[in-house]
Chain A
Amino acid sequence: MNQPENYTQLLQDYSDLQLRVTKFSSVEQQLINTRDLLDSELLSYKKLIDYNSKVFKEITDKAFFLESTEAIVDIFESDVSLIVFDESSHPSNMVIYAEGMHVVEIDRISLFGDLYQLSADFPASRGNLLSGEYMADLACMNKFSSGVLYYFSDAEMGYRCYLFSLVTKQNAPFYNNMKDRNETVFTIFGQMVESIFISRKKSEQIKKQLTEIEKSHSELRKLSLIATKTKNSVIIADTEGKVEWVNQAFTDVTNYTVEEIKDNKLGQLLEGAETEKEKLHLLNDAMTHHRNIETVIKNYRKNGEMFYNQVEIIPVFDTGNQLVNYISIQKDITNDFLHKNEILRINSRYEIITQKSKIGIWEFDCVSGEHSWNDIIINQYGARRRDVEKDYTAFWEAAVYHEDLDNVLRINAKILSGELDFAELQYRIVRHDTKQIRTLECLNISERDRSGRVLRLVGSSIDITEAKDYQETLLAKNNELKKINHELDRFVYSISHDLRSPLLSIQGLLAIIFDEEVLSESITNYLKLIDSSILRLDDTIHEILSYSRNSRLEVVSEKFDIVEMVMATFEDIRYSIPDKMHLEIELEGDTVIYSDKVRLSTLVKNIIGNSVKYKKLGTDDSYIKFGLVNKEEEILLKFEDNGIGMSEKTLSKMFDMFYRGTSQSTGTGLGLYICMEIINKLGGKVEVKSELKVGTVISIILHKTSEL
């Protein structure tokens, strides 16, 4: 009976034992899980330490935050990590780093609102658990089922930084919900991030300062090098202005060494008789008030030589704004000064010239597009400067007379394109004020660089309206005069011919009367008087014809012997007077010349004729001396007589038309006038010397003409 009971009991005990074993397995598993959890905890702290050492190496904030986002996921085994860095309190400027989700998918405005809410609901600088229920009410973070937040800020530096470890609703089954443990560890992590970030910022500041110091050192080295090597004088003085150091250039300019100048007041040794007292006062005043000053002053070298010194004094302050030094940079600008004065003088003259000559000057910078016009050109356009300055090109194009504009633009385009270097052009403009049309004569010139690119256009402009009008009037008058002269010549020629024919007829008739008629003495005398008058009138007409021929006909050169011509002419005329007269000839060079034979014949006949006509009466020693000098390029003809000579009054008018020296003169008054016309026509010169009762010398110089 007991056996079955015992068996049942045994079975029950066995079953209980089995259950205890499996429960033991369950407990054992819990222990294993706890061990794993502890292991995981240890691993988390190890990861925290790893993060701490790793993140210090990150150079940029971006790398630091990216490393931190990965660390959050890694350490907290979360689905998503999010770090938001906000320096500007504006959604679009927030810098977001994420792991486990894409930043571009984040609605910044919603997130910005969530952050504001979180800041209000949770304290800073500690881990805060975020439940799914809490986040369900947030606009951006409602997709998360749990999370933990840590944030910190610095009002002085103006930033806020939020760290999140989150689990999405979608992946929640895989992840453990954030628990108190996470809150604690996240506090540690957050504080770590915060302190590292602050350290980074401080480190950045220190680095920046170090960089600035290094930069300062570098600049100092450079400045030191510059101060030593520069050709300008550099002087360093203490706060009282006493010289502490000068560079070699100072010694080169002034001949004072450092030892000589040291402890002297700035500039003291350089003063001299002509040093401007008022400038010294200005320099002292600037130093007293710790101001920069720059001026040019007359200083003296050690040898007493004056030089123009361009002086700049700069007070140097420390970071506390305390004066520590003066630095003076000086430059001997004597040559520059003199050159500058010379340039100013030349410029001044140039200004005067342009003002007086009324030349407008303009310039166009092709690179900057800037124009400049001087006042003269603005006046030429009848404008005020403000009219022009609005838009030079538009103003000018509007002012150019419409018929001329295209041509001027075309030429300017050629200059601008480099096709032309310069252009002289005339065009009309319409004055801005009076609307009067004016004519300008312009010169436009291009300036180019080495590659040929046009850099600048410069030009001048002269208003030639009046000159052009005058020129045109003169031209018209000249043409009119030429026409009149031409007509007059024709008239003289034709009238001379027409007059001479009847005179020759009368002469012929008189000759017949004298040969065939027996006339009374009185009639004979009358007829002789008529004959004499006809002869004079014929001479006059003959001379008028000569004049006319001379003016009408072209010069025709030919070879002939001038001496033969003079001798033949003398022979023809010498017997027209009762007294004896002889011809003397002096020769130098060939007697054969090449010239207009007809005109020279008229010339010789007139001059010899006058010598014969105006010889001293009643003497037989009258002479004419003919001299010939035949040079390489010119021929000198000299006619000298010992006739009655001429007064100064007569001498001055002897070549005037119809002038006769005395009332007894029987000539027409045209002979010498024609001679002068011939000499002019042949391109020669004439010189007359005469003395009353002594004689007259006429010297004629003729340019040789080519035989061919």
Chain B
Amino acid sequence: MLNFYSGSTRVVNTQRGVLECMELAMGNQYADADLLLFHSSVGHNFNEIWATATELAPDAKILAASCCGVVGREGVSESLKDIALMAIKGKEFGVSTIDNVFGYNSYEQCHILATDLKNKCEGINMLYFMASGIDISNDECIMAIEYVFGKDVTIFGATSSDNMKGVVSYQLVDGNVYEHGAFLLGFSDATLKVHTQATHGFQAFGEPMVVTKSNGNIIEELNGRPAWQEYTNHLGLNADATCGKTIPIGALAEELLDEQATEYGNKHILRVVTKHDDNKMYYATKCAEGTKLWLTLRNEELIFKEMDRIAMNLKSKIGERTPVAVFHADCLARGRFLFNRIIKEELVSRMQYPFHVNGECPPWLGIYGFGEFARLGGKNTYHNYTTALYVISR
């Protein structure tokens, strides 16, 4: 039976950061951990994270991913020195990893990844997926994983990021630090269930841009014009603007089916562009020609309202079961580049409170990344610009 423990901190020194997380999570019992899953800002050295964690818990499987900030039971933090941990005790899990996952080979690589995990571990009933958030076709990742495990196995997780520069993101598995890697963590504890839901609270407006030329996840032309130029022009930015400039204001919206829109609380699902190569835009999913993409406006009131709605919705789905851990993925554009600290902390508090057990927040590991995986309309779905909650209950 799996047991979960969490801790998060903001400490400049990497070694002390790791130790502090482990102590917050497990007291002085951290050497007994079987799995350590870290989320860390890019200001920490990932090799040092691994070395320190290995020394403190020699028998534990160690995973980590870079992010723009973390959310834990201790609160929210977005700096270059954040680190958060979900520690797990128990043997009912399996991990697989793979390097060189890009937009053009996302399906193939994730198929290998999922197959490997399937072979390693039986009885997996939920999957935590973490991949690079740059130049990846996330919907194809989902398809490949579903192909191996079936569509009923929930995929939750996020894509790793840097501090919204769109330069690089890191994935760490067993001492190897990848920049375009992915890992798949499968849970096989039959006593556990996971419920997921995502929401963004953005509003599409105006006339959509139409994808007139694309190649997989790369959009080459919008409205018959070079894609990046058209995109930045619509945002009122120059074409030399970086992704760091476009990400906060440039969420692109695709229209959802009506039944999905009801559950989602919005008619559109959002997509992020994390990389551009001249005028080629690296979209987060495969994007067919003819796809309409709306620009969006952020609606603070709607964000809060939607946040409360999905929290209550998840609470309702859990029913009498007890939340034993909450994984949480948030878009980095919804952090310090949208809300000030007070509002952000208020938002996090409101998403955590419904899951408190005996007045205490359950183990919580949240990440500010590039993208989020959560079910929508009964299907595993990739999201951007959302808050996605994954409540594991027993």
Name A's B-contacting residues (CB within 8 A). 14-15, 17-19, 21-23, 25-29, 32-33, 35-36, 39, 70, 73-74, 77, 79, 99, 171, 173-175
Contacts and interface: CB of A to CB of B under 8 A. Distances in A.
B340 A25 contact: no
9 contacts: A15-B207, A22-B249, A26-B237, A29-B248, A29-B249, A36-B340, A171-B42, A173-B168, A174-B162
B205 A174 contact: no
B20 to A, nearest CB: 13
B234 A174 contact: no
Contacts of B297: 21, 25
Interface string B319-340: 0000000000000000011101
B109 interface: no
Given A14-B207, A70-B12, A74-B12, A22 B80 contact: no
Contacts of B42: 171, 174
- Ranked nearest first, the 5 interchain pairs of A and B with the lowest CB-CB distance are A23-B236, A18-B206, A70-B12, A173-B167, A26-B236
A15 B237 CA distance: 16
B338 A25 contact: no
B336 A36 contact: yes
B216 interface: no
Contacts of A29: 248-249, 337
Contacts of B118: none
B235 A25 contact: yes
Contact of A22 (B43, B234, B298, B338): B234
Given A19-B236, A174-B165, 11 more contacts: A18-B205, A18-B206, A26-B236, A26-B237, A26-B249, A27-B236, A29-B337, A32-B337, A39-B341, A77-B79, A174-B167
B80 A174 contact: yes
Nearest to A81: B12
A298 B206 CA distance: 120
B211 to A, nearest CB: 18
Interface of B: 12-13, 42-43, 79-81, 162-163, 165, 167-168, 205-207, 234-237, 248-249, 295, 297-298, 336-338, 340-341
Contacts of A74: 12, 81
Nearest to A70: B12
Contacts of A174: 42-43, 80, 162-163, 165, 167
Nearest to B205: A21
B12 A99 contact: yes
B212 to A, nearest CB: 17
Contacts of B80: 77, 174-175
A124 B205 CA distance: 56
A171 B205 CA distance: 38
Given A70-B13, A74-B81, A26 B340 contact: no
Interface centre among A19, A22, A36 (most CB of B within 10 A): A22
A175 B162 CA distance: 11
A73 B16 CA distance: 14
A193 to B, nearest CB: 16
B11 to A, nearest CB: 8
A471 B81 CA distance: 103
Contacts of A26: 235-237, 249
Contacts of A70: 12-13
B165 A173 contact: yes
Nearest to B162: A174
A36 B236 contact: no
A482 B24 CA distance: 112
Contacts of B237: 26
Contacts of B79: 77
Contacts of B338: 32
Nearest to A35: B340
Nearest to A17: B206
Nearest to B234: A22
A19 B236 CA distance: 7
Interface centre among B43, B234, B297, B341 (most CB of A within 10 A): B43
A15 B168 CA distance: 35
A22 B336 contact: no
A433 to B, nearest CB: 76
A36 B79 CA distance: 12
Nearest to A171: B42
Contact of B81 (A19, A36, A39, A73): A73
A276 to B, nearest CB: 76
A25 B249 contact: yes
A226 B336 CA distance: 71
A19 B248 contact: no
B248 A32 contact: yes
A99 B17 CA distance: 13
Contacts of B336: 36, 39
B165 A36 contact: no
A402 to B, nearest CB: 69
A23 B206 CA distance: 13
A39 B341 CA distance: 8
Contacts of B12: 70, 73-74, 99
A73 B43 CA distance: 10
Contacts of A23: 235-236
A260 B173 CA distance: 92
A466 B43 CA distance: 98
B208 to A, nearest CB: 10
Contacts of A35: 340
A653 B147 CA distance: 152
Nearest to B66: A174
Contacts of A21: 205-206, 297
A698 to B, nearest CB: 117
Contacts of A28: 249
B296 to A, nearest CB: 9
B129 to A, nearest CB: 24
A535 B256 CA distance: 179
Contacts of A77: 43, 79-80
Contacts of B165: 173-174
